[in-house]
Amino acid sequence: MLIIKLTLLTFLLLSSIGFAADGLIQLKSHHSVKQTTKNLLDVLKKKGMTVFKVINHKKGAKKVGKKLRPTTVVIFGNPKVGTPLMQCAQTAAIDLPQKALIYKDAKGQVWYAYNNPQYLVTRHNIKECEKPLAKITKALGNFAKAATK
């Protein structure tokens, strides 16, 4: 029953947002890359998540004489949530901690993107891990909404 609920929750979440590559969920942001990133960091801090790194790829490109539109990756996680997922499929560790990509596209639209937890289920052949996956799916969706609205 929980798998059905998780599948329905994922479908409802995905039906209201855009897609890009396989396994990537994208939402339009109503803010700049800088503000979307700040919003995300604020909600992560409020929820007790660990922020491991904020990577500003535009700054990195500038250091080597290249131009890049604003592109930021936030790496974050919580062992209370990630560890149970790795206990179900240890190879999931390659995709943890979680990452959020915030970028401005060629048309000037800011996007918030993250890995679809259901993609990780397929990628790592995760079985019997409904509770951690439900928590992760809900949390990632909430973080995305808080950052972009």
**Each residue's pLDDT tens digit in the chain (149 positions)?**
555 454 444 444 443 455 446 899 999 999 999 999 999 999 999 999 999 999 999 999 999 999 999 999 999 999 998 999 999 999 999 999 999 999 999 999 999 999 999 999 999 999 999 999 999 999 999 999 999 99
What's the predicted TM-score (pTM) here? Answer: 0.85
Q: What is the CATH number of the domain that holds 37?
A: 3.30.310.70
Residue 106 structural domain = 2-148
Amino acid 44 reads L
Omega before 97 within 30 of 0, i.e. cis:
yes
Split into its structural domains, the chain has a count of 1
Cα–Cα distance measured from residue 149 to residue 29, given in angstroms and rounded to the nearest whole number:
6
